[in-house]
Each structure stands twice: as structure tokens, then as C-alpha cells.
């Protein structure tokens, strides 16, 4: 850069050489001024700077005889050019080095009165020497367009200039865009020389499959392409600069764009974004962190950075672990060696005596024939190999059996041993009658079948190394173990006088006088309860005599549900699980809100929106669906967001985030089951006619109460498009009726029976349709299976009753609501804070 400025200055001096002797032959020093060494007054410099400049370059000055000005250094070419233009056009200077006045007009300066003659002298000289002026303008253009020349070259080569000071990607060529959207509002781009240009549109520029430029600005009359480093980093990419070039990496560490260096400019070639040469990425490590890792006895890197961050070790500096570090001594020291039998030097002397086998897969891409796996078998003697392609792993046994028959025909009796890595290969080859085992077991039942397992590695009997064990009791890990344990427990409870539920086969009831003992089984966990303490104690003693059990006491936590029991009732909530969800998705510090969805919110496919990570979105939906077991207030919005799991967009993820913000506001809420309510079954049904904007299908919402306690609820989009509000409400009522019938059957196992269960609906047409068996023109198209509601209304199982819309509790499961309506319905459902327990 200094060499370029030096050359430019020499050209400026050469352009003004004809001005050195304008008056021609005048020997007077005052009149004949030599200005071949031209100097323009610097702006705002101090006296000290003038003195320093005088010592450095005493010849680059303008000698003013009237003011006796100090000799000034010529700082840069552009400053001189700008000042010359001011002198010629406006007869003024920004700051006089003598009087220090800003915007000082020369003719009014008492110290520089004679400079007016100098200005006139320069103007006349420039007019007389037009060639010199043209050269001067040429130098000015070359000085200001230094960056532009590089950009023009970049455009000719179809490359992009990497600019760390550029706030966004921009180009002037619309051919780069794969999609372009006209700018909705006027936006301008300000460049380094204070010039501006208008943004015509924004769009997407695709570089390759893994890397694309989003929100790229199409700028009017822009002659070059600029690549913003800050915008690349904001999109979760990393830019690594080196002396020879640069690379852009995605979140997985894969290179998505190569950037080459040409001189002092970094240029990205979009025609060859990634080098075709296969490279091996080597993780970098911080030697400083490795030093402290070794000094502290090879402590884990995560623990080491935590010790450093919390200042738990005096003298330990702040350490930052950016990449996974690899310590070779740690890797070798923590490797576990299997107890393999040493291989003797004697090799096999015939084919088929020892076969090595393994399964490879699943492959990343399915083959044309639909295969995902490969079974590889190698003969130890001949090294002959067989490869079988499989769609699933369970095909391995069939391929092995076919190979065994072929080898037995060619080499009768030669097949003796098979060697594998104890992976899934043997379990597939052994067949359906064999089993997989685990080391730790809990014997619960005598097996009905004969099962043999090999000796565990490391525990072989030296006297009988080739023998196997005969399994006498069921082990955890066997396919029949859960079933065997259930049969064992079921037979025991039935022998003790329990009766098994007709609907729920895991429910066992023991009736004793006016009391009942309920036992609920979930695999090997048992929940039981009774109104008298004596029956509970007797049941515990009976179970301890027969099984090895541990009594956990009062039920507090079960399958993610937290239970708090009081004399007034039971409070069920999932506070711990909710905190885990918020912590997992980093939503615990966001501002809370009062509703999980806005009252006017509308979700659609949003095909033009930004695509988001499908796996993360599904994980968020799955976590929230499990939370609805104790939070019916989010049932509708979670089911609504779950409809877009196939192609989630940024708008859908934002809706899910709002649910989590609401959960952060209602973290400890749950369902309250009071002991003082009457025992009567009731149901509520409602529908949002044409609520889905995609296919115009309605949404059914139902809920069921036992007294005042909520025991079942649902929110589901109907399978067909309803032609009227009455039809959508009728379909919702039919769905509620089917749930009531299932509850009637289930509650019979608990000794509860009901007649004419009330079903509350806010549409009188539904009640009339259910009671009228005549086919009407507006109802004849309704699917016949929904008309079973009429049958059960006639039988007296269900009684339809009208309810005012304002009191319809199922309204919360059909559509978004405002905060006041939402809070009212939550209270009716029994969703409260633990402080609100009565």
C-alpha cells in the first residue's frame, strides 16, 4: 500500500511540474513562487505534528511568505486532492494552520490575506495547463477506485469477495438467485465512501447441498459480489482463516465452502465450492489445556474446565475447551481387554473347520434391491468369502443354514466352529428358540421351556470349557421374562382371592367385607391402595413371603407423575419433568406468558418459510405430548403443532416455543382430585367447525368427569369434512359417547355402575338429530358409524343435555382462546397451583 501511495504522489508532482514557472522569467522571490513540490494544508493537526512532519519531510511544503507557515508533511494523496478541489472551487480551507479557525475563508483571514492571490494563481494555472489537470483527474480516479478494480475482476471470475466488515451478503447480478422476493420496504446500503444504493430484492443463493446463502440483497448497480462473514457465523457456520485461504464448516464439522486467497483478497468460487480431494479433518487441541490436564492426574476435560470456571483450584487459570481433546495415555489406560483365548500357531488343515462371520449395516443408502445389511462369512483355511445381502437382520439365519448345507455336501462333517464378535450376529444365527441374556438377573419364575445359554466371558469353567448352562429361572433380558413374571404374579394373586379386571388385565381387586384392595401392575412395579390400613399390611406381608420385594412406602413418583396426597385430595403434577424439558431445549430463562397460543393465531404449512431441524421439532412435540398426561390445558395446541411434524417450519417451532414459555409461567400446575366430591360420571363435547385452514376439517374436543375430577380428555381433528356446524358437533358427541362406554366398562371393575350418563352439548340440533330416527336431507350424508349415538341414547346409556356455550368446558380442546376465557376453563378442569389446594 505504501508503494502505491508513493507512486501516486510522484504522478501528482509530475502533473504540476508545468506550474513551476507561470510568470516566466520573473526573478522576484515574492512573485515567482516555485510550487513544483506541492503541499496542501492538513486538517486539524497540532503544532507538535507540524514540527514532527518538518523533521521527517522538509521538502514537501508550501512556503507561505506572508504567514511564515511551518513546513507541513504531505500526509496522503487523497487528502491533497480533496484540498485542491476546495481551493479551486470554493476559495476556502477547512482549517488554517496559523489561526486554527475552522471553515476559515482565506480572504477573511488576517494572517492569510495574500493567499487569495495564491488561489487565483492556482486556478489560472490549472486552466492554462489542461493536460496537467486531466492527468490530475486520472490520478484521482485511480486513487479512489482501487477497491473497485479488484471487485470488477471478481465479478468477471464469478467469485465472491469475503468481507468481514460487510453486514450482509449482497450482489448486483440477479442470475445468482434461485429464488427472489421483491423488497417489501425501501432499504438502502451505505458503502465505505458514504455513497448509498437501493436494495431491489432479497433471495436465496444456493452454493451446494449443504451450504446456501439466505437473505442475500440484490443491490442496484452493484458491480461486485460481497460475502458477509458475520451473516455466515449467525447461521451456525464457522469460518476458519489461514495464510493460504479459508474454509467454512457446518455444525457437524464438515467443510461446505473453500475460500482461496489471491494477494490480500479472499475470494470464494461458487462453481467449485468444496475441493474434490478427500481430506481428513484433524481436531485441534489446546496445548495449554492439555498441560493442566496432565498436571491434575489426567482428570476429564469437562471437569477440568468446570474447576477452572468456578475457581475451585487456587492458581488454576481460566481454561476454555472448544474442541474435543484426545489424550493418548487416557485412551490406552481406559481400554478394556476382553478375555480372549490365545490363538495357537496351528492353523486349520481343511476348509470349513472354522468360519468367521459378521453383519455389516445398516448402510446409509438402501440398495436398488431394497437391501440394508450384509452377512460376511470367511473360511479360515482358504480365506474364501461369502457375502449375502439382506433387507433385515433376521434373514442371517436362513443364509447361514443354506451355506451350511452346501458345505456339508462338499466337505461332510468339516464344519466345527464359528467365530464372531459376540455382537448381534450370533443372536440372529441361533434361531428363534434360543435367547439373549444379561449378566445381572432377577429370578422371578420357573421357565416352562428348556433354555440353554453359554458360559459368560471371563467365568468359564476350566474343567468344562465347552459346556453350557441350563436356565432354571427366567432372567431379565429374555423375551419371555416379562410374560413369565406376569403369569407368576397373576396366578399367585388369583390363588389369594383376587379377581382380575375384565377391561384392564393388570388390575386385581380383593373384596373383604365392605372394603376393597386395588392392585395395579406395571411390569415389575406394583401400586396398591385400600381404605383400611389392615388390608395394606396383610398384603405387604403376603407378597414378602412369596417374592423378593422392596417396600417404597407412600406413592410419590410414578412414570414421570408426581403425586402429593393430603386428607382433602390428591394433587398430580409433572413439575420435575417440565423443568427437564425447559432445560433440555434451553427455554427456562424466557419471559413467561399467560396462554400457550394466541387467540388469533393461525398455523398453516408455511411452505415459503424457513425449514427447521425435523428431529429436534419431533423431540419437542413428543416431550410435550407426554406432559399432557397431567396438563390438559396444552392438549389442543400440542396436537395442533403435531400436525406439521413432516415438514416443520420456523413459524411452527415458534409456536412450540410459546408453549414452553407458557409452561415456564405455570411450572408447578397440575390436576386436583378432591375427596369431597360426589361420584357421578359426566361428559362434555364440543367442535370447532372448519377450524383447520388446510383441509377445512373440524376439531373435536371431549372431556369426562368423575364428580368434579377430570379423568379423561381428548382433542382430535375429525376424519371427514363437515358440511354444517350441527354435523361437526354430532361427530364430536359420537366420539364422546364412545369414550363414555369405555369408561363404564372400566369403572365396573372398581365396583362403580351408572345409568344415563349425562353428555353436555351446546348445540340443540345435535340433540334433535340423536332423538329423531328419520333420515333428513341435511343428515343423510353423515357416516353411518356415527349414528350409534342414537342407539345408546335410546337404550338409556347416555342422555344428551343442552349446555350454554359459555359453560362448555370442552371448548378449551377445540380452538385458541383469550386469556380470560382460558383461565376460566382451566379452573373448571381442576388445573391449579399447589397453593390452591383446598
Average pLDDT of 756-783? 77
pLDDT score of 430 more than 80: no
338 against 226, higher pLDDT? 226
Lowest mean pLDDT among 529-543, 546-560, 672-686: 546-560
Average pLDDT of 713-731? 89
The helix/strand/coil state of 473 is strand
- Residue 596's pLDDT is 93
pLDDT score of 145 more than 60: no
pLDDT score of 524 more than 80: no
Average pLDDT of 475-502? 77
If one counts every other C-beta atom within 10 angstroms of the C-beta of residue 820, the result is: 11
- Residue 682's pLDDT is 93
- Residue 694's pLDDT is 83
Confidence of residue 733 (pLDDT cuts 50, 70, 90): very high
pLDDT score of 684 more than 90: yes
Confidence of residue 612 (pLDDT cuts 50, 70, 90): very high
- Residue 455's pLDDT is 80
Confidence of residue 3 (pLDDT cuts 50, 70, 90): low
- Exposed/middle/buried for 693, CB within 10 Å: 0-12, 13-18, 19+? exposed
Lowest mean pLDDT among 283-292, 611-620, 636-645, 814-823: 283-292
| Beta pairing partners, 761 | 802
Interior/surface letters 315-347, b for 16+ CB within 10 angstroms, e for the rest:
ebeebebeeebebeebeeeeeeeeeeeeeeeee
Average pLDDT of 610-639? 93
604 against 290, higher pLDDT? 604
Measured CA to CA in angstroms, residue 498 lies from 73, 335, 411, 482, 517 at distances of: 107, 53, 61, 20, 9
pLDDT score of 422 more than 90: no
Which alpha helices (H) appear in 678-797, and where do they start and end? 725-748, 764-771, 788-795
Cβ-contact 246, 259 below 8 angstroms:
yes
Q: The pTM is what?
A: 0.47
- Cell readout for 771 is 332423538
Average pLDDT of 307-330? 73
DSSP 216: E
Lowest mean pLDDT among 70-79, 592-601, 633-642, 725-734: 70-79
751 against 485, higher pLDDT? 751
Structural domains for the chain: 2-144 (no CATH), 151-269 (2.40.70), 287-329 (no CATH), 354-429 (3.30.420.10), 677-803 (3.30.420.10)
The helix/strand/coil state of 127 is helix
- Interhelix angle 115-128/77-90, rounded to 10 degrees, is 100
d(CA 761, CA 737): 11
Confidence of residue 340 (pLDDT cuts 50, 70, 90): low
480 against 430, higher pLDDT? 480
pLDDT score of 73 more than 50: no
Mean pLDDT of all residues in the chain?
Answer: 74
- Residue 825's pLDDT is 93
In degrees and rounded to multiples of 5, residue 734 shows phi and psi of -65, -40
Contacts of 589 (CB under 8 A, 6+ apart): none
Average pLDDT of 563-578? 89
- Residue 312's pLDDT is 76
465 against 584, higher pLDDT? 584
Cα angle 76, 79, 84; round to 5: 125
d(CA 70, CA 93): 16
- Residue 4's pLDDT is 53
If one counts every other C-beta atom within 10 angstroms of the C-beta of residue 805, the result is: 9
Confidence of residue 35 (pLDDT cuts 50, 70, 90): very low
| Listed residue (10, 8, 18, 14) closest to 130, CA to CA | 18
Cβ-contact 470, 434 below 8 angstroms:
no
Confidence of residue 334 (pLDDT cuts 50, 70, 90): low
pLDDT score of 406 more than 90: no
Cβ-contact 630, 574 below 8 angstroms:
yes
> Using CA of residue 444, residue 445, residue 446, residue 449, what is the dihedral sign?
negative
Contacts of 69 (CB under 8 A, 6+ apart): 61, 62, 63, 97, 98
- Residue 543's pLDDT is 86
Cβ-contact 339, 456 below 8 angstroms:
no
Average pLDDT of 219-224? 81
Contacts of 18 (CB under 8 A, 6+ apart): 129, 132
Lowest mean pLDDT among 28-32, 84-88, 89-93, 154-158: 28-32
Amino acid at each position: 500500500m505504501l508503494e502505491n501511495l508513493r507512486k501516486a504522489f510522484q504522478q501528482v508532482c509530475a502533473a504540476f511540474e508545468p506550474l513551476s514557472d507561470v510568470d516566466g522569467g520573473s526573478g522576484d522571490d515574492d512573485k515567482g513562487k516555485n510550487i513544483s513540490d506541492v503541499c496542501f494544508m492538513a486538517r486539524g493537526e497540532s503544532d507538535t505534528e507540524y514540527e514532527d512532519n518538518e523533521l521527517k519531510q522538509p521538502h514537501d511544503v508550501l512556503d507561505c511568505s506572508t504567514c511564515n507557515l511551518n513546513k507541513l508533511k504531505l500526509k496522503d494523496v487523497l487528502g491533497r486532492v480533496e484540498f485542491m478541489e476546495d481551493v479551486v472551487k470554493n476559495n476556502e480551507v477547512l482549517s488554517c494552520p496559523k489561526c486554527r479557525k475552522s471553515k476559515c475563508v482565506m480572504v477573511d483571514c488576517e494572517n492569510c490575506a495574500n493567499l487569495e492571490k495564491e488561489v487565483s494563481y492556482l486556478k489560472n494555472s490549472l486552466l492554462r495547463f489542461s493536460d496537467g489537470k486531466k492527468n490530475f483527474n486520472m490520478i484521482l480516479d485511480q486513487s479512489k477506485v482501487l477497491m473497485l478494480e479488484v471487485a470488477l475482476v471478481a465479478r468477471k471470475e464469478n467469485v465472491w469477495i469475503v468481507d468481514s466488515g460487510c453486514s450482509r451478503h449482497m450482489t448486483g447480478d440477479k442470475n445468482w438467485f434461485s429464488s427472489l422476493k421483491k423488497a417489501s420496504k425501501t432499504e438502502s446500503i451505505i458503502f465505505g465512501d458514504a455513497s448509498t444504493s437501493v436494495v431491489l430484492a432479497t433471495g436465496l443463493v444456493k452454493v451446494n447441498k449443504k451450504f446456501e446463502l439466505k437473505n442475500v440483497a440484490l443491490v442496484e448497480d452493484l458491480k461486485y459480489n460481497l460475502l458477509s462473514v458475520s451473516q455466515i457465523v449467525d447461521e451456525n457456520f464457522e469460518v476458519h482463516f489461514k495464510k493460504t485461504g479459508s474454509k467454512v464448516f457446518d455444525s457437524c464439522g464438515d467443510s461446505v465452502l473453500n475460500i482461496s486467497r489471491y494477494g490480500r483478497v479472499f475470494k470464494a468460487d461458487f462453481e467449485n465450492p468444496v475441493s474434490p480431494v478427500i481430506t481428513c479433518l484433524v481436531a485441534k487441541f489446546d496445548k495449554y489445556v492439555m498441560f493442566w490436564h496432565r498436571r491434575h492426574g489426567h482428570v476429564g476435560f469437562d471437569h477440568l474446565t468446570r474447576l477452572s470456571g468456578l475457581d475451585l483450584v487456587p492458581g488454576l487459570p481460566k481454561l476454555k475447551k472448544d474442541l474435543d481433546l484426545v489424550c493418548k495415555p487416557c485412551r490406552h489406560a481406559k481400554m478394556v481387554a476382553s478375555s480372549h483365548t490365545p490363538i495357537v500357531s496351528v492353523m486349520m488343515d481343511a476348509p470349513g473347520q472354522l468360519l468367521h462371520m459378521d453383519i455389516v449395516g445398516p448402510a446409509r443408502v438402501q440398495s436398488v434391491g431394497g437391501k440394508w445389511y450384509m452377512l460376511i462369512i470367511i473360511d479360515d483355511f482358504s480365506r474364501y468369502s461369502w457375502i449375502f445381502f439382506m433387507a433385515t437382520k433376521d434373514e442371517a439365519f436362513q443364509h447361514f443354514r443354506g451355506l451350511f448345507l452346501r458345505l456339508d455336501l462338499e466337505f461332510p462333517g468339516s464344519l466345527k466352529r464359528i467365530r464372531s464378535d459376540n455382537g448381534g450376529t450370533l443372536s440372529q444365527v441361533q434361531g428363534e428358540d434360543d435367547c439373549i441374556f444379561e449378566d445381572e438377573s432377577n429370578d422371578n419364575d420357573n421357565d416352562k421351556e428348556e433354555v440353554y445359554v453359554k458360559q459368560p466371558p471371563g467365568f468359564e469353567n476350566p474343567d468344562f470349557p465347552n459346556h453350557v448352562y441350563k436356565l432354571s429361572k427366567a432372567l431379565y433380558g429374555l423375551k419371555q421374562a416379562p410374560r413369565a413374571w406376569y403369569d407368576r404374579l397373576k396366578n399367585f394373586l388369583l390363588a389369594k382371592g383376587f379377581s382380575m379386571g375384565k377391561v384392564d388385565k393388570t388390575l386385581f381387586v380383593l373384596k373383604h367385607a365392605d372394603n376393597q384392595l386395588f392392585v395395579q401392575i406395571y411390569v415389575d412395579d406394583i401400586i396398591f391402595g385400600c381404605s383400611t390400613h389392615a388390608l395394606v399390611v396383610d398384603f405387604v406381608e403376603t407378597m414378602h413371603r412369596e417374592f423378593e420385594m422392596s417396600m417404597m412406602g407412600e406413592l410419590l413418583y410414578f412414570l414421570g407423575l408426581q403425586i402429593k396426597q393430603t386428607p382433602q385430595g390428591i394433587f398430580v403434577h409433572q413439575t420435575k419433568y417440565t423443568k427437564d424439558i425447559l432445560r433440555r431445549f434451553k427455554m427456562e430463562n424466557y419471559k413467561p406468558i399467560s396462554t400457550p397460543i394466541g387467540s388469533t393465531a393461525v398455523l398453516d404449512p408455511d411452505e415459503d418459510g424457513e425449514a427447521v431441524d425435523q428431529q429436534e421439532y419431533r423431540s419437542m412435540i413428543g416431550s410435550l405430548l407426554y406432559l399432557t398426561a397431567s396438563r390438559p390445558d396444552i392438549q389442543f395446541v400440542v396436537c395442533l403443532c403435531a400436525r406439521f411434524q413432516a415438514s416443520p417450519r420456523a413459524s411452527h417451532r415458534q409456536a412450540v416455543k410459546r408453549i414452553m414459555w407458557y409452561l415456564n409461567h405455570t411450572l408447578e400446575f397440575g390436576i386436583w382430585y378432591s375427596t369431597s366430591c360426589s361420584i357421578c360420571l359426566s361428559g362434555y363435547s364440543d367442535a370447532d367447525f372448519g377450524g383447520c385452514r388446510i383441509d377445512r376439517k373440524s376439531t373435536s374436543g371431549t372431556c369426562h368427569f368423575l364428580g368434579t375430577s377430570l379423568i379423561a380428555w381428548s382433542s382430535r381433528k375429525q376424519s371427514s369434512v363437515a358440511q354444517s356446524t350441527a354435523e361437526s358437533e354430532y361427530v364430536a358427541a359420537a366420539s364422546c359417547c364412545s369414550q363414555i362406554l369405555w369408561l363404564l366398562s372400566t369403572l365396573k371393575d372398581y365396583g362403580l355402575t351408572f345409568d344415563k350418563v349425562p353428555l353436555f352439548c351446546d348445540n340443540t340440533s345435535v340433540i334433535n338429530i340423536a332423538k329423531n330416527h328419520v333420515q333428513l336431507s341435511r343428515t343423510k350424508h353423515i357416516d353411518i358409524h356415527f349414528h350409534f349415538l342414537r342407539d345408546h341414547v335410546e337404550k338409556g346409556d347416555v342422555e344428551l343435555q343442552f349446555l350454554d356455550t359459555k359453560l362448555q368446558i370442552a371448548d378449551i380442546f377445540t380452538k385458541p382462546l383469550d386469556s380470560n376465557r382460558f383461565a376460566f376453563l382451566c379452573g373448571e378442569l381442576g388445573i391449579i397451583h399447589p397453593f390452591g389446594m383446598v
